[in-house]
Amino acid sequence: MTNPLLLHLTPEEIELWAQGLLPATRDAHLAQCAACRAIAEPERKLIRELAQLTRFAPEFGFVERVMAKVNVPTPSSPHLRPYTDS
């Protein structure tokens, strides 16, 4: 079996580390591996910066107002109509 201290972190493990969820055995590798740290540190910085952004959602009724303005044409030729078995 391969020693986990020798294996570089996968992208998934880097994401776990950036979120503070990486298992201790893999965290030990990161502490010793400059190559993995060079990839992981910017990832953690990005996740922390994204977490600081203001969260927003469209105001109430936005979807209804947009959809009221959307013109969805009705198919006029037989090849554009949905297939039926009848």
Let me know: does 17 contact 9? Beta carbons within 8 Å.
Answer: yes
Give the separation between CA 77 and CA 73, rounded to whole angstroms.
Answer: 12
Global model pTM greater than 0.85 = no
Domain-located, residue 54: yes
User: Looking at the domain assignment, is residue 39 inside a domain?
Assistant: yes
From first to last of its 86 residues, what are the pLDDT tens digits of the chain?
566 667 899 999 999 998 889 998 898 999 999 999 999 999 999 988 998 999 888 899 999 999 999 988 877 666 665 666 65
CA distances from residue 82 to 18, 73, 74, 85 in whole angstroms, order as listed:
48, 14, 11, 10
Number of domains the chain contains? 1
d(CA 5, CA 38): 17
The range of the structural domain enclosing residue 21 comes to 11-71
**Is 3 contained in some domain?**
no
Q: How far, in Å, CA of 30 to CA of 49, rounded? A: 21
Q: Is residue 76 part of a domain?
A: no
